[in-house]
Structure 1
C-alpha cells in the first residue's frame, strides 16, 4: 500500500485539500470521502471515527479494491466502468451490507490526455439528504482536475516549451496505450491525424508498451514518411507528473526544414498573426477557423471585404500560421503599380530586356516569394493584359520574365484580396472570368465593422493601449461610447483606429469627451427622424417613467440609430440607466 501511495503521491497531494473541505462540512455525519486510483483501489479516506469503524467492517478502507469486477455494482467501480459520474443508491449495491448506504462517485481525469487517473467518492447513510449530493462530488472532482492541469504545466514545463516552440509543426499527445488524445491543426491538416488513432501508425518502426514506459527516463526519436512522400522526424518526450507517466508528446518536423520558429526569413516577413484579430463575434470566429484551415493548404485564397476591414492582417495570419511561415511573405498592391510596370514588377525581367532595364535583370515579386506566399492586394485593379499573364502563372506554376526565353518554376502560395465585387467587374469587362475562378478556390469574406458592433469595445481598448504606450489611458465618456457603437464606420477598423488616435491627441489625457472627436465623425452621425420626438411626446413615455422592457429599449434604440443619449432623453431616464439595461438584457 505504501508503494501504491507513493506512485500516486501527486494525486493525493493535489486532492487532499478538496477532500478535507468535504470532510469539514460533514464531520459530524455518517459520511466518508475517499480517493481511489484508476484501478478502483482506495488510496485514502476521511471520516469521523464512528463512520470509519462502520465502514471498515464492510471492507471500505485504504487498500481495498472496489473495481466492479471484484466488488460488483458500486459507485467507484461503476464510475470507472462507465467513465462518468454515478450514484448507487441502497439496494442497487451488489453487496447486501451496502444497502443502508448511498454512494456518489466521479472520475478524475488528466486534463490533457483525458484518461481517468482516479475517482472521488462520497459514501453516506441513505437517510442523510446531504449524502445524495452527487453534484458537489462532481464539482470537487473538477477542481482537482484543474489543480492537476496547473501542476502538469509546471512539471512538464520543458516538454510543453518544446511543443510551444514548434507549435506550428504537427504535435500530438497520447496516453499509455499509445492512443492519440490531443493534436493541433498542423497534425490534422498536414498529416491527417485523428483522435483515437494509435501513435505507432505514424512511425516507420512499431512502438511497444516497454518503449512507452522507458519514456519516463528518456525521450525517443522515430521517422515517418507521409502519403505525399514527405519525410518527418518525430521527437517523443514523456508526459508525466512525479513518477507517474501519463503518456507522451510527439512533435513532427520535416527533415531538412528549419527547426525553430524564431528564425525569421530574410527579406519580407509578417507583422500579424491570428492573435491580432480581436473578436467575440460568431461570424469572425468562424472566419478565423476557416482561415486557420486554409493555412495548411496551398490552394489559392481570395479575401473580399470593404476597405479597412483587415484583409491584409488575415492574409499575413494565414501565412504565419501555416507550413510556409519560414518562407517570405511578399505583399503587392496591384492598384499602386503603374500600368506599364505591372509585368516587370510581378514577373521580373532579363538584363537589357527594354530601354532603362538593369543590365543584370531583376527578380519579380513572384520569384521573391518562392517557397513562401505572395499577397496580391487590390487584385480587382490589375490591368487586363497583366491578368492574362497572372492566369498563365497560376496554371503553369512558372514565371516568364520579360525578355526571357525559358519559364522559371516557382513554389508560391497565392492570396489575393479586393474590396470590389469581382462578379460585377466581370460583367463590366474589367476582370477576366477565368482568372476569377482560378483565384476564388478558397473564399473568405471579412465582415464590415458595422456588422460586428460587439467588437468595437475590444478594438477601442486595444487601440488605446497601443497609443498610450504603457502610460495611463484616458477614460471614455458614455456619450462617446454611444457614438462609437452607433456610427456606421464606412472606413471600418482603419477609420476607428484613426478616430481613437485623434481623440487621444485632442483630449486632456484624463477623459475623452465628444469635443475630442473629429468633426467629420460627428457630422456623419445620422440624425433621428424629425417625427421621432412627436411620436414619443404623444406616447405613454412623455414626461413619466414606465417599466423599461427589452422590447421598448430595442425599439427606441432602433429609432435613434443606436444613440444612447437621444434614447435616454426620449425615455426620460439617465444614460447610465440605458447602459445598465443594455447589460441586463444582454444587448451590449
Structure 2
C-alpha cells in the first residue's frame, strides 16, 4: 500500500497500524438492533435538535449518489440518510446505523480521524486505510457543544471519483450552523451576543453570557477569534476579554436590539470588535427597572404557584394532579422532562402548596457548578477551608434551605463523588461543612430534576443505583411541548403576559403563525416558545404577529405542512420560498431579492403558506 504524504494522514495511518487494523480485512463492530436502539435513545435529544438540518442535507444529496452520516464521539453511526441506492450498495462495507467507524476498528477514515484530530478532514479513495473503503470519499467536520467539547461528527460520503474539494467546505459550514443552533437553543435565561471584527463582517462570533456577565457558551468562531479554550467557559467574565462591556450588558428594555457597539479587545490592543445583543433572555424581562411601578416590581418577586401553571393537555394535567398530591406530603420528589418543560416552576409550585411554604425555597443547578465548587456550594465551608474562602465561613444550600425545600436541578450531572456525599446526607440529614468537623442537622424537603433518563444513567454506571432509589419517593414526568395538544392555547396564554410586559394592545397570531406554533418541533419547549413569542411580539408593528416576526433560526428549521390538494405549482412556489428563506437564515430582504419579488409580495405569500 502506498504511504500517505499528508502529515495528519500519515499520523492516522501510524495509529491504524498501532491498533493492529488489517487493511485487507475489516473488523466486525456493529451493535445489535435492540442494543443500538438503547444506545441511540441516549442521544435522542441531540438527534431531534439536528434532524431538520440532516433531512434538508439528505434531500440535496439524494440525486448526487451521496449520503449524510452523523457519528458520535465513539465512532458509532447514529443516523445515515441520502441516496438509497448508495446506502444499499455500501451496506457490505458497513455504512449502516450502529456500525463503528473509529480508527481502532476501521483505520483511517474521515469520521474516525476527525474524532482524533478534531478538525474538518476529507479522506478520498486510497487514503482510506481499509482496502474495501477505497471506493469512497468521506468529508467530515466535528460538531462541538457550546463549551468546545466534541459532541458528534458530521460526515458526507459518496463514490471517490465524484469528490470535489468544495464538499468539505460545505460540510464544515453546516456543522458550524448546527453548533450555532445548539448554542441559541441552550442560551436560556442568558444574553446571546454577536461579535465580529471591525472590518470582517462575514466572521460572526456568538457568545452566551449569564446575568452576571460570565461566559457560559460560545460558537467555534468565537473560540477561534478570541483564542478561548474549554477551561475558559464558565470561569471568565466578558470584561476580561473585551473592554467597556457595561453598555452591552445593561438592560435596554428589549429582547433583541439593533444597537451596535465598538469595543476594544483586551488581549490584542489593535483589535476592535463590533458587538450587539441578539437575544436577551435574562429572567423577568420587562420594561426598564426605573419605569416599573411598585405593583410590577412586587409581581416579579412572586414565586410560581399551581395557579400560574397553564395547560389543558391530558398528560400535563395528570402530572400537575400528581404534583398537587405530592405537595401535601414530605416525600422526596423526582421531576423528569426535557429542558424547558417547566421543571423548576413545578418544583416552586409544590413548595408553595406544601406546609413548608413559609420557609426558604433554595435551588442549585448541579450541572452548572464546577466539580471543585459543588461540595462547598451544597454543604458550605468553614473559615480558611481553601484559598479565597471568606473569613467568616459560608453556609451551603442545605443550611440555607433549612425548614424549607432544596431543589437539585440537573441531578444527573452530579459527579460520582458528590453522589456519595449526597446519599449520606439523605440518609440522616446531617451535613458537615468543608474544612469543618461539627455535624449540622438540617430539615429540608428534596425535589430533584433531570432532563435525562436517570435509570439509563444507573444502567450505564454513571449514576448510583442507591441514590436513584433514595430519590424515587414520587416521580413526576412533564410532557414535551411537541406532544401537548394545547400548544396554541399556551401560546395565547403567554401572549397575554407578553403584551403587559411590552405595554401593547391585545396581541394575536396570524393563521400562518398559528400553523408554526402547531407544527414546529419546539426542541426548547415552553422556554423556547416564550422567547420566540417575546421576540415576535417586539418585532411586530401591529397587534398581529405573523410568521416573519419569529426568530430566523426557527424559520430556517420550519417546513410548513402543505395541503396535498393544493396544485403542484403552488407547492413548488411555497417550497422555493421556504428553501430560500432557510438558506438566507430568515432574512426577508435577501430572500425577496433572490426570488426577484418585492418585500411586500413576499410578506403576502408567507401569510398564505
Question: TM-score of the superposition, structure 2-length normalised?
Answer: 0.42
Question: TM-score of the superposition, structure 1-length normalised?
Answer: 0.44
Larger Rg: 1
